[in-house]
């Protein structure tokens, strides 16, 4: 495994975030070996984009690891404990346009919770029924950072960024008919947003949005200490 994976075991000390395993294109054997090495080095062990069949195969390989857990909604595997919650950094809320965005939203939530960040989800508040979103604004105002996951035309992050002052991170989701083109329409719509200051990550990149939010929180926390 040392020839196949050069793990960045000092990333959390350097950047505040642990290295995650991209599981979609790795074998069960590779994922199992990296999880064990990360956890054995005292690092957070998280693998993203793991389907149920591959998770089961990893579970067979790591049958003696009682702390191995498959998070089916988020399509992630974890080994060992998460980082302790750091309430002083505040809360992130992950907002989704529809329940079809749930896997991406769940990935973002788990990645943040795994790094000790309080995070909740507010689901199914897409702009096709704007009253649903407006009814949640008081709750959303309590968050330090908002992550907005949306497919179709991807308008949700623009609306949020026009209503609320917090940093908003848009995640285009590969959900939608025809010209939605696997999330391309949502991506282009978010990039062309007229709401100033909206940040956008790649299609379906819930983990990347979580790490962007983490950087914001860590920077805000460091500034508060100075």
Judge whether residue 133 has pLDDT over 80. Answer: yes
d(CA 159, CA 168): 10
Q: Is residue 2 part of a domain?
A: no
**pLDDT tens column, 169-207:** 999 999 989 988 899 999 999 999 999 999 999 999 999
In this structure, are 118 and 157 located in the same domain? yes
> How many separate domains does the chain show?
2
Average confidence (pLDDT) over 52-74: 96
Domain end, chosen from 28, 62, 79, is at 79
End-to-end C-alpha distance for the chain, whole angstroms: 42
| Averaged pLDDT for residues 25-36 | 95
173 token code pair: 């989701």
Q: What is the DSSP letter of 185?
A: H
Domain-located, residue 206: yes
pLDDT tens profile 5-23: 788 788 888 998 888 999 9
* Predicted structure pTM score: 0.91
Same domain (yes/no): 148, 41: no
Q: How far apart are CA 118 and CA 143, in angstroms?
A: 10
Contact 53, 24 (CB under 8 A): no
148 part of a folded domain: yes
Domain boundary among 35, 60, 79: 79
Place of tokens 């290295």: 19
pLDDT > 70? residue 107: yes
Domain that holds residue 218: 87-225
Residues 46 and 94 grouped into a single domain: no
Q: Are residues 29 and 108 in the same domain?
A: no
Tell me which of 49, 79, 109 is where a domain ends. 79
pLDDT at 224 over 70: no
Is residue 17 helix, strand or coil?
coil
What pLDDT score was predicted for residue 136? 95
Give pLDDT, residue 225: 58
Instruction: State residue 1's pLDDT score.
Output: 45
What order do you get walking across the sheet with 118-122 strand by strand?
A: 118-122, 91-96, 145-150, 168-172, 199-200
Span 141-171, pLDDT tens digits = 999 999 999 999 999 999 999 999 999 999 9
CATH number, residue 206: 3.40.50.1970
Do residues 64 and 124 both lie within one domain?
no
């Amino acid at each position: 495994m040392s020839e196949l994976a050069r793990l960045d075991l000092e990333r959390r000390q350097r950047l505040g975030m642990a290295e995650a395993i991209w599981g979609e294109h790795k074998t069960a054997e590779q994922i199992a070996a990296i999880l064990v090495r990360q956890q054995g080095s005292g690092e957070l062990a998280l693998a993203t984009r793991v389907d149920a069949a591959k998770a089961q195969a990893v579970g067979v390989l790591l049958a003696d690891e009682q702390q191995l857990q498959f998070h089916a909604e988020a399509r992630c595997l974890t080994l060992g404990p998460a980082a302790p919650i750091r309430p002083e950094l505040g809360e992130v809320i992950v907002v989704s346009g529809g329940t079809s965005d749930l896997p991406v939203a769940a990935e973002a939530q788990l990645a943040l919770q795994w790094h000790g960040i309080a995070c909740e989800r507010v689901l199914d508040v897409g702009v096709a029924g704007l009253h649903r979103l407006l009814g949640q604004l008081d709750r959303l105002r309590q968050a330090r950072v908002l992550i907005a996951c949306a497919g179709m035309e991807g308008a949700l992050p623009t609306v949020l960024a026009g209503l609320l002052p917090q940093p908003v991170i848009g995640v285009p989701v590969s959900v939608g008919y025809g010209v939605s083109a696997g999330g391309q329409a949502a991506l282009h719509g978010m990039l062309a947003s007229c709401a100033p200051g909206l940040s956008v990550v790649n299609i379906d990149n819930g983990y990347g949005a979580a790490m962007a939010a983490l950087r914001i929180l860590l920077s805000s926390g460091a500034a508060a200490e100075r």
